[in-house]
Amino acid sequence: MKGRGISGGTGRGPLLFSPTPLSFLGGVDPSTGAIVEHGHPREGTLVRGTVLVFDHGKGSTVGSYVLYALARQGLAPAAIINAETEPIIAVGAIIGKIPLVDRLEIPLTSLRQGTILTVNGDTGEVIIDEESP
């Protein structure tokens, strides 16, 4: 699959799909990497090592620094895929060196939870390594 590369590098991991936008400030605990936004469909789930897939970010610009803090502590997603990346997520991914791709040629909802993906932020390519059962 092809998209637009935003933040370079390559990351591989199981797909973690968030059906709603995600805020890293107040939505993800920077000390654990758990989604903590009350009522979020993935509340309690760890983002570490996943390919985190969500439509777009929301919230404060401080969310960029939360992504950076997660990366520094080894708690960040292996990569991120958005439908449309906005500046908060882009900056966080870039300073945290987290590969980021958006505008895939297929709908994000067609990707299956748990599928192993490789994301190349330099080329914008996303490869399905292993389909989820």
Domain at 83, CATH number: 3.50.30.10
Q: What pTM value is reported for the model? A: 0.96
pLDDT for residue 133 is more than 70: no
Residue with tokens 């067609």: 110
31: left (phi over 0), alpha (psi -120 to 50) or beta: alpha
| Helices 87-96, 63-72: crossing angle, 10 deg rounding | 20
- Say how far apart CA 72 and CA 36 lie, in whole Å: 19
User: Catalytic site residues?
Assistant: 60
Distance CA 1, CA 56 (A): 19
Mean pLDDT of the chain: 96
The pLDDT, as a whole number, for residue 74 is 98
Range of the domain at 13: 4-130
Whole-number pLDDT of residue 130: 84
User: Is the pLDDT score of 6 beyond 70?
Assistant: yes
pLDDT (0 to 100) of residue 46: 98
Predicted confidence (pLDDT) at residue 132 exceeds the cutoff of 80: no
Q: Report CA torsion sign: 112, 36, 57, 75.
A: negative
pLDDT digits (tens, 9 = 90+) for 53-112: 999 999 889 999 999 999 999 999 999 999 999 999 999 999 999 999 999 999 999 999
Contact criterion met (CB below 8 Å) for 92 and 59: no
Give the per-residue pLDDT at 48: 98
- Report the pLDDT value the prediction gives residue 60, as an integer from 0 to 100: 87
Question: In the chain, how many domains are there?
Answer: 1
